[in-house]
Homo-oligomer: A and B are copies of this chain.
């Protein structure tokens, strides 16, 4: 499978595929006699794995370290487990902050909604969009 087909199946660009190879996320694939990258189906799986891991907010560098462990054939999942737990804690923190920010924004929105609409006639007093 050539790079274009791989990219399509994994729903990324060929640029991204080469970029991932360059940062060690994808092993260097076999090459055709003419030098084209030649992937097997594992590469699709791997790219999908990357996508999934990325969707949970893991940075590419973190995904690399998980995959390196995997590639090394480690017999322990401790690395992955520790990473997951750390990430989970970060996620909780982020959710908390989001909810705090949401509360503040809700306050702003409520105040805005209670205002007299007729006070909104002066174009100079609504600076939000204009500026």
Taking Cβ atoms with an 8 Å cutoff, the residues of A that contact B are 42, 45, 48-49, 52-53, 55-58, 65-81, 83-85, 87-88, 91-92, 94-95, 97-102, 104-106, 108-109, 111-113, 115, 117-121, 123-131
Q: Are A118 and B84 in contact (CB under 8 A)?
A: no
CB distance from A46 to the nearest CB of B (A): 8
Quickly give the copy total for this chain.
Answer: 2
Given contacts A55-B94, A91-B98, A131-B68, contact A120 B84 (CB under 8 A): no
Task: List chain B residues, Cβ under 8 A from A127.
Answer: 68, 71-72, 77
Given contacts A123-B70, A128-B77, contact A55 B112 (CB under 8 A): no
